[in-house]
Chain A
Amino acid sequence: MRTLIFRSVAPYLSSLMILFSIFVLLRGHNEPGGGFIGGLIAASAMAIYGIAFGVSPVRRAIRFHPMALSGFGLFLASVAGILSVFPGVPFLTGLWIYPEVFGVELALSTPLVFDIGVYFVVFGSITSTALALEERERD
């Protein structure tokens, strides 16, 4: 799979896919999309990069171990649920704040934090599975 065309295109394709995955993640708040599908797109980007350049460049590129990213996502998702202890509402209740940034009203909420957590969990676990499979192929 290490043809010249593929190796030239792969970096751009991967970065585009990462960008698109973040778009899908944020869009998922009100429209179809969300953390799971976003994480899957990002993980496929890593898989493509891995097919083109091998596994170790991918590991260098994402800096952290994929499972550590998964753990970070799980942590974010749990914290998003725990936050509702402060206003005294049940676990996982959605909380909203509307800060104004540069005159634009932003709707920030704990479901968004939870969704970002899901994004990282999916991205981390699928990437580590994909990398494990790609690694074995060259043995």
Chain B
Amino acid sequence: MALDASYDVDISQAMVVELPPLADWLVVAPLVVGFVFGALCLMTRKDTGRQPFVAITGLLAMLAADIGLFWHVYTNGTVVMTMGRWLPPFGITFAADMLGALLALVTGILGFAGGVYALQDISRTGRRYGFYPFLLLMLSGVTAAFLTGDIFNLYVWFEVLLIASFGLLVLGSEREQLDGATKYAFLNLIATTLFLLAVAYIYGVFGTLNMADISRKAASVRDSGPLFTITAMLLFAFAMKAAAFPLNFWLPASYHTPRIVVSGLFAGLLTKVGVYALLRIFLTLFGAERDILAGTIAVIAALTMVLGAMGALAQNDIRRLLGYLVISGIGSMLAGLALGSATGLSGAVLYAVHSMIVMTALYFLVGIMVERMKVFTLREAGGLYSSAPWLAALALMLFLSVSGLPPFSGLWPKALLVKASLDVGAWWLAFAILLSGLLTTIAVARVFAFSFWRERDTAQKGAGEVQPAPAATSGAMAGSLTALLLLTVAVGVYPEPVVRVTDRIAAELKAPSRYVEAVFPPGSEPLTTEQTEP
């Protein structure tokens, strides 16, 4: 039965002969850890007492794996592993370049912070509904989407993170959640189905699904193949996932309905997966098509930025206001993609990292605020400055950071993006970036003025509710918020190392041949996956 012995077949043409070094396992380590611990949590779901310890251990292990992966990629360049010993393009490839590794690292940080925050925010009932298993599975899905090197596999990971996010979204099944989840579920499912449709055409045109393989074949297909249609479809699908302007309506309809920690992680992670996919598709795979679509993307970016910030201005509910700020941030990242220069891309990636951390932290902050105020609306908010001055300090720092004011992490990506726009003479894009910053400042300043500075109208709310500051905010919630805040301060005060990393990412994105060479090392004869023509 032993196949290798009895058949005279040269397996070196199809299979990896040299065994990979153990360090290459770091590519799959974060998601494997996530799946194993997610499965363990799923099995011990009823044991709500011990489950958090299993989950926190898992999140910590995932973070450690992400750090290890990032360090490995930082020192050794892109790491590649093909599943099941098959050579690319036959097997499914996982390829971690700097972009994927950096975003996976931030995912690990946010996941851990969210897990700690949830110790207090998610009740025992929520745990019984399966908060931690879904969290771990969603994080695995997000990480895997950042690391996979196969476009159909990317679709699969989109679906994995989507179904886990459904589970998180309906945790508790309140009326509002069911309503939000219905809209979220349908629109996201349609978006991923459209992505799958584009994948079908990619397969029809290229006969391969490996991203590196597509990238190196794109040039030869460009004249005959309908690449422009494919890229336009991908732009549509991923813009919907990322909540770019005309396709953003699902986000403010749903992101404020779940528990606040879930909202925070969604805001930090899910839309950024769409942005990542856009960067990957338009830079690594189809660079020439990006040049054609750049004008469209720039207009979408400017509209998303400005209208997102304007939507934030019009909201009474603080959580929905944050939803619009998420949308506005997506516009800035798309602006970097539209510019396509090294500075612009560096700014876009830096903005993605900044936005992931700050948006999650903002939702965490609102969670603490609401725990004290018991209301979500600006009309009724107030009195926090006198009851929790430390919270006011944290809030002010986060608000300045999200507006892009110094000395916080929001300043540098915006500076890079404005510089990149002015370099190519796109003054209107630079104006949109600055205008969205101004509008954001007004929106968050209003939140600060109303919920912190204004004294709570005691007559309106009844005396009993205001007096003793409701149960002092727990250490877990404040701790994870402070940790995220320290990150944004650190990046704001000392941005050099991060900018060096994002500059390197931009250089890698500008030269897709390096990604291709990592998957198909030069020297090894490229295998062909020719399709039989009908």
**A residues within 8 Å of B by Cβ?**
65, 67-68, 70-75, 77-79, 81-82, 85, 87-94, 96, 98, 105, 107
Query: Residue on B with the closest CB to A64?
Result: B43
Stretch at the interface among B32-40, B283-291, B472-480, B523-531: B32-40
* Smallest CB separation, B76 vs chain A (Å): 17
Q: Which residue of A lies closest to B36 (CB)?
A: A78
Among B1, B36, B43, B45, find the residue whose CB has the most chain A CB atoms closer than 10 A. B43
B39: contacting residue among A72, A87, A92, A94, CB under 8 A: A72
Answer yes or no: B393 CB below 8 A from chain A CBs: no
Do the beta carbons of B43 and A72 come within 8 Å of each other? Answer: yes
Known: A90-B84, A91-B83, A93-B84. A71 touches B20 (CB 8 A): no
Knowing A90-B82, A98-B1, A107-B1, say if A71 contacts B16 (CB, 8 Å): no
Q: How far is the CA of A79 from the CA of B24 in the complex (A)?
A: 18
- For residue B24, which residues in chain A have a CB less than 8 angstroms away from its CB? 90
Most buried by A among B2, B24, B32, B84: B84
Chain B contact-residue range equals 20 to 34
- Shortest B276–chain A CB gap in Å is 22
Known pairs A65-B45, A94-B84; A71 contacts B36 (CB<8 A): no
CB pair B20–A81 under 8 Å, yes or no, is: no
Instruction: State A50–B28 Cα separation when bound (angstroms).
Output: 40
CB distance from B46 to the nearest CB of A (A): 7
Across the A-B interface, the 5 shortest Cβ-Cβ residue pairs: A71-B42, A75-B39, A74-B39, A71-B43, A93-B85
**Other CB < 8 Å A-B pairs besides A78-B32, A78-B36, A93-B84, 14 of them?**
A65-B46, A68-B42, A71-B40, A71-B133, A90-B20, A90-B81, A90-B85, A91-B25, A91-B28, A91-B83, A94-B84, A96-B2, A98-B1, A105-B1
A selection of 16 A-B contacts at a CB cut-off of 8 Å is A65-B45, A71-B39, A71-B133, A72-B43, A74-B42, A82-B36, A85-B25, A90-B83, A91-B81, A91-B94, A92-B83, A92-B84, A93-B83, A96-B2, A98-B1, A105-B1
In the bound assembly, the distance between CA atoms of A13 and B158 in angstroms comes to 38
Cβ of B9 < 8 Å from any Cβ of A?
no
Inter-subunit contact A74/B45 (CB<8 Å): no
Taking the closest CB of chain B, its distance from the CB of A95, in whole angstroms, is 10
Main secondary structure of the interface of B (DSSP, over half): helix
Instruction: List the count of A-B residue pairs having beta carbons below 8 Å apart.
Output: 75
Q: Given A82-B32, A88-B20, A91-B25, verify A68-B82 contact (CB < 8 Å).
A: no
Per-position binary interface string of chain B over residues 84-97, scored 1 when its CB falls under 8 Å from any chain A CB and 0 otherwise: 11000000001000
Which residue of the partner chain B has the closest CB to A125? B163
B39 CB contacts on chain A under 8 angstroms: 71-75, 78
Q: How far, in whole Å, are A96 and B16 apart by their CA atoms in the complex? A: 17
Chain A residues whose CB sits within 8 angstroms of the CB of B16 once the complex forms: 89-90
Q: Do A67 and B42 touch (CB < 8 A)? A: yes
Known contacts A91-B81, A93-B85; is-contact A81 B43 (Cβ 8 Å): no
Q: Which of B36, B46, B133 has the most CB of A within 10 A?
A: B36
Q: Smallest distance from the beta carbon of B153 to chain A beta carbons, Å?
A: 12
Instruction: Name A76's closest neighbour in chain B (CB-CB).
Output: B39
Pick the contact of A81: B19, B32, B40, B41 (CB < 8 A). B32
Kindly state whether residue B130 has any CB partner on chain A within 8 Å. yes
